[in-house]
Amino acid sequence: MFEMATSRRLLVLFTAFFVSVTVAASFSATDSDGGSSSDGSSSSSDGAIGRLGIPVPGRRNTTGPMITDLNACGPSDLPAHALPPFDCCPPPSSVPPINFTFPDPSEPLRVRRRMHALSPELLANFTRAVALMKALNKSDPRSFYQQANIHCAYCTGAYRQAGHPELNIQVHNTWFFQPLHRAYLYYYERILGKLLGDPSFGLPFWNWDAPDGMPMPSAFADPGAVLFDPLRNPAHAPPRLLDMHFAGADAANRSAREQAELNLRTMYRQLVTNAARPSLFHGQPYRPGDKPNPGAGSLEIYPHNHVHYWCGDLRRKNFEDMGVYYSAGRDPILYPHHSNVDRMWEVWRALDPDRHVDFADPDWLDSSFLFYDEEARLVRVTVRDMLDISKLRYAYENVHLQWVNAKPPVTPGLRRQRRRRVLEAVRFPVTLNRRAVSAEVARPRVARSRLAKAVEEEVLVVDGIRFDGGEVVRFDVYINAPDEYHRVGLGGRELAGTYMSLKRVGHRGLNLKDGFETSMRLALNDLLEDLDADADETITVTMVPRQGKVHIGGLRIDYVLE
Ligand SMILES: [Cu+2]
């Protein structure tokens, strides 16, 4: 319908920046460290412009696909107190990689089914396959040991960027999150099928988006079983339900029913509201020469990250295995978890076929990654290869999506309250540490027409999110609820989104004092209509720290045209 949707480069209109930034003065602060510090370092809003392809004077405007080279794999960025093995590069290949080819269309379709509802036969099959994989020699690229290392290599910066040896490749917090993990699971599944001698073997998915699938599937929780991992949070064995906002402690007095409802609303927020456009779902562009972590897509931030954290063992320094990327692949539950993440990509596209489309940018499509296939051959896989699962010969069992109807309700009695507040101006960057910070953010355009909204999504950009990477961080972002965000909680419409990061230690080649830096985007078109705030010239944004200490570089409104 709109030609712009097929433009080769994301076009984002940067029409204006916030005009006034204020911090709410009346939050009862329990420490003097948080709030409105200004250390004078500038945020990265110009960097975001550069990443999105609009030339910025004095900055290299990067272009081209990201190419992975086996010879450019080296030490990864492991956190302190990491558990061995420390080297996660794949075994060398005596021959150059072959290019990916699609499986024969006559191959049986591999159906990926709900883990918690597998028949006893299929469950036994799956368990046996993982046991066979674990029994392979560690030097075999198809062994469980090497499969676990793949996640470590791509997700902990073991590969250097071709042409930019000072920079590593980190697929999280970028537009490669979905395709990289899809290729990873594609081969993981085919290797398991090969070991079983079953070409129709499908990798089950952990159906955490449906109430009956929210507990950890019981097959993983049986100590001594092949799917068990001792490095997990023992409090999160079934029947406890996944908490999609887990922040290091289990919510007291929350019934299973309430938890399920909160999770369904979280799914709506991240897969419907905040995933309105391709880059909002997939993540921000990432090209050779770019610093890592331009910005994660909605699903990656949560529930994906929270599922990792919720599974990890809090008694371990880095919440191994699942709670930190370098070791996540050592827990067999990573794969059904990511099978559901991958399924959500298909679900997202089907929810709105006009706007929920994949990037057409050749820099994305032609980027490539290396995997060993089920015959132990090294294969170069491009993002373009990973877009059509019917060509990849797998499919997902159809499951009712209860969360599509779980839009969070507006909290009554909050509107206009912010108008009566006395706000004290401060400058970004601000430090979030224990107390909430509110800022008034100007909206360049108000009450746009339906057509204008169909063309452009209004997006709140939380930019220059910085932290030292040595701790888990989380903060919540509320719209127009500066005083009573407690009342909104995690289930109200005023909660626009949550930022959460697992421990992210080490950025080789980058100046470590910069720590970890990224950004987050929250979609506003529908949200502001629901809050009856679409005609307002400003919104009040309240950032509430929940865990760790974070610097925020700035807030602004963008209009995303994709
Ligand atoms: Cu993951």
- pLDDT digits 0-9 by tens, 289-323: 888 899 999 999 999 999 999 999 999 988 999 99
Residue 224: the pLDDT is 86
Cα of 253 from ligand 1 centre, angstroms = 29
Cis peptide before 84 (omega within 30 of 0): no
Query: Token digits for 473?
Result: 């961080």
Q: What is the pLDDT of residue 230?
A: 93
Cα 541 to Cα 241: distance, rounded to the nearest angstrom: 31
Q: How far is the CA of 322 from the centre of ligand 1 (A)?
A: 8
Confidence of residue 432 (pLDDT cuts 50, 70, 90): very high
pLDDT of residue 84 exceeding 70: yes
Q: In this predicted structure, what is the pLDDT of residue 59? A: 39
Q: How far away, in angstroms, is 327 Cα from ligand 1 center?
A: 11
pLDDT at 303 (0 to 100): 94
What digits encode the pLDDT tens for the residues 235-266?
Answer: 999 999 999 999 899 998 999 999 999 999 99
What's the pLDDT score for residue 65?
Answer: 93
Identity at 287, one-letter amino acid code: R
C-alpha 325 – ligand 1 centre gap (Å): 7
Separation of CA 193 and ligand 1 centre (Å): 22
Give yes or no for residue 267 having a pLDDT over 80: yes
Greater confidence (262 vs 162) lies with: 262
Q: Is residue 38 classed exposed, middle or buried when 0-12, 13-18 and 19+ CB atoms within 10 A define those classes?
A: exposed
Q: Measure the CA–CA gap between 473 and 517, rounded to whole angstroms.
A: 12
Rounded to the nearest 5 percent, the helix, strand and coil shares of the chain are 30, 20, 50
pLDDT for 61 equals 53
Indicate whether 445 pLDDT > 90: yes
Per-residue pLDDT reduced to its tens digit, 377-409: 999 999 999 999 999 999 999 999 999 999 999
**d(CA 304, ligand 1 centre) in Å:** 6
Q: Is the pLDDT of residue 47 over 80?
A: no
How many angstroms does the Cα of residue 177 sit away from the middle of ligand 1?
9
Q: Which residues, 6+ apart, have CB-to-CB distance to 449 below 8 Å?
A: none
Split at pLDDT 50, 70, 90, the class of 38 is very low
Binding residues for Cu cation: 151, 172, 181, 304, 308, 338
- H-run or E-run covering 561: strand 554-561
Cα(443) to ligand 1 centroid in Å equals 35
- The Å distance, Cα 308 to ligand 1 centre, comes to 7
**Residue showing tokens 């030339």:** 55
Distance 189 CA to ligand 1 centre (A): 16
What separation in Å is there between the alpha carbon of 94 and the centre of ligand 1?
30
- Of 87-96, 192-201, 269-278, the one with minimum mean pLDDT is 87-96
Instruction: State the distance from the centre of ligand 1 to the C-alpha of 454, rounded, in angstroms.
Output: 32
Task: Using the mean position of ligand 1's atoms as its centre, give its distance from the Cα of residue 338 in Å.
Answer: 6
* Average pLDDT value for residue range 94-123: 97
Annotated binding-site residue numbers: 151, 172, 181, 304, 308, 338
Q: Cα torsion for 444, 498, 412, 536, to the nearest 10°?
A: 0
**CA angle at 108 for the pair 106 and 112, rounded to the nearest 5°:** 140
β-pair partners for 495: 478
pLDDT score of 57: 37
d(CA 276, CA 524): 9
Q: Measured in angstroms, how far is the CA atom of residue 244 from the centroid of ligand 1?
A: 14
Q: How far is the CA of 535 from the centre of ligand 1 (A)?
A: 39
CA 222 / ligand 1 centre spacing (Å): 22
